[in-house]
Amino acid sequence: MRTQVVIIGAGPSGLLLGQLLSRSGIDNVILERQSAEHVLSRIRAGVLEQGTVDLLRQAGVSERLEHEGQVHHGVEFAIDGKRERLDLHELLDGRCVTVYGQTEVTRDLMAARKASGGITLYHASAVQPHEIAGESPYVTCQIAGESVRIDCDYIAGCDGFHGVSRQAIPAGVLTEYERVYPFGWLGLLSDTPPASEELIYASHARGFALCSMRSATRSRYYLQVDAGDAVENWSDERFWEELKARLPEETAAQLVTGPSLEKSIAPLRSYVVEPMQYGRLFLVGDAAHIVPPTGAKGLNLALGDVRNLHLLLERAYRTGNPSCLERYSELCLKRIWAAVRFSWWMTTALHRFPDTDAFTQRVQDAEWRALLDSRAGRTTIAENYVGLPFPALD
């Protein structure tokens, strides 16, 4: 089999890249280790930056998002038991975020893939890129017991943090930057109305909590838990009691609880690899970087990489000159590090670390006051939360 671009991974990055390339007339094949149902069952991100929504619009996959996505003009912080709202819309001249689950983005992209007739091979095992440093790369895999080889011009590694693409780059080429946090997030999904119309990020002496949502009737809540904790330790009852203890009293009093649809613990990590390209292999999204979910940046950053790679590939094919592709890493990394900084800061400023002493806590409280009491401070948080602009290609 031959195609122009082999995409490894059918998560949001791989599917969006496939969609954009197909719309530009660039042939591509997606290889996914799991089934489509499995990919759709992963409960993950929910907050889309303004730029991400615009990108999905350009890709022609925003019809349901326009109707079902919840546009949020603000976000709240509960510091020391007091709720304070950041009016994103007013601070940023009408820019805001949209709440629409990653599963829904993925579902829309899968439907568009089907409609376009693009090939996605699910249950692909032993996927392996070859000859990535040369001009004729190819990918091999096993599908239903058959060996498959796909020759191509380029390979896009959209296969997440545990994928095979990053491992295919020779030792010594990549530099890794990492911070592992000493806690995780215990998430609970429930068919209950959200605690508030907008997200509430709560910093409390017992630990961080987040009130989020997927729709007017479905809520997603998170609690900071120790890194070694296990879901089995958390009955629904215990979860709700702990959440109430970390929220301001009036919010806790109004909280509607119910049985969990899903509960899971996600470790928190910041990770970036540089460069994001080797020869004809490009790392995209979680394959190249991970951020803690505190700033709601992971999915947004991943789709930002897709936007850059699509524009560069489109230019390379249109002009017949692939030299622009050498700029991929540089184009992505500045915005990635800005988001890594913001996610790290939000995590540091909202969580309790095992070594947070009284002095550190007072400084942290003072930092929140300094930021929230000044328009410049509020605007800085808002700009980063809503998402920084995409880089210009030239």
Residue 221 designated active-site: no
Q: Does the annotation count 385 as an active-site position?
A: yes
| Nearest-approach distance from CB 44 to ligand FAD, in angstroms | 3
Task: Work out how close the CB of 5 gets to ligand FAD at its nearest, in angstroms, rounded to a whole number.
Answer: 15
Cα–Cα dist 208/225, whole Å: 9
Q: Which of 3, 5, 7, 12 binds ligand FAD (CB under 6 A)?
A: 12
Q: Taking CB under 6 A as the rule, does residue 49 contact ligand FAD? A: no
Burial class (CB in 10 A: 0-12, 13-18, 19+), 41: exposed
* Cβ 319 to ligand FAD shortest distance, Å: 28
- Strand 70-72 relative to strand 97-99, pairing: antiparallel
For residue 10, state whether it binds ligand FAD (rule: CB under 6 A).
yes
Catalytic residue (choose from 12, 137, 293, 328)? 293
Nearer to ligand FAD, 38 or 334 (CB): 38
Please tell me the count of residues contacting ligand FAD according to CB under 6 A: 34
Question: Residues 243 to 302: which contact ligand FAD by CB under 6 A?
Answer: 266, 285-286, 293, 296-300, 302
Active-site residue identified among 12, 72, 100, 351: 72
Nearer to ligand FAD, 12 or 118 (CB): 12
Dist. CA 326–CA 312, nearest whole Å: 9
**How many whole angstroms separate alpha carbon 146 and alpha carbon 161?**
27
Confirm whether 322 is a catalytic residue: no
Residue 308 makes CB contacts below 8 A (sequence gap 6+) with 328, 331, 332, 390, 391
Q: Which of 13, 50, 190, 384 binds ligand FAD (CB under 6 A)?
A: 13
Among candidate residues 201, 221, 278, 328, the one labeled active-site is: 201
Buried b (16+ CB within 10 A) or exposed e, 203-239: bbeebbbbbbbbbeebbbbbbbbeeeeeeeebeeeeb
Closest CA to 325 of 340, 339, 338, 315: 315
* Catalytic hit among 297, 317, 328, 351: 297
Q: Exactly one of 102, 203, 251, 343 binds ligand FAD (CB under 6 A); which one?
A: 102
b (16+ CB within 10 A) / e for 126-136: ebebeebeeee
132 binds ligand FAD (CB under 6 A): no
Torsion sign, CA atoms 295, 296, 301, 304: negative
Count CA atoms closer than 13 A to 345's CA, side-chain side: 13
Q: Which residue is nearest to ligand FAD (CB)?
A: 11
Structure tokens at 266: 């996600």
Q: Which stretch binds ligand FAD (CB under 6 A): 2-10, 170-178, 234-242, 246-254?
A: 2-10
In the residue annotation, 351 being an active-site residue is answered as no
Task: Name the minimum Å distance from CB 291 to ligand FAD.
Answer: 8
Chain positions 164 to 203 lying near ligand FAD, rule: CB under 6 A, are: 164
Question: Among residues 336, 227, 222, 228, which one has the least CA distance to residue 287?
Answer: 336
Task: Give 34 or 380: the residue with its C-beta nearer to ligand FAD.
Answer: 34
- If binding is defined by CB under 6 A, does position 108 make contact with ligand FAD? no
314 contributes a contact to ligand FAD by CB under 6 A: no
Q: Between 144 and 322, name the residue whose CB sits nearer to ligand FAD.
A: 144
72 is catalytic: yes
Minimum CB separation of residue 321 from ligand FAD in Å reads: 28
List residues binding ligand FAD (CB under 6 A): 8-14, 31-34, 39, 44-47, 102, 124, 127, 158-160, 163-164, 266, 285-286, 293, 296-300, 302
Active site residues: 72, 201, 293, 297, 385
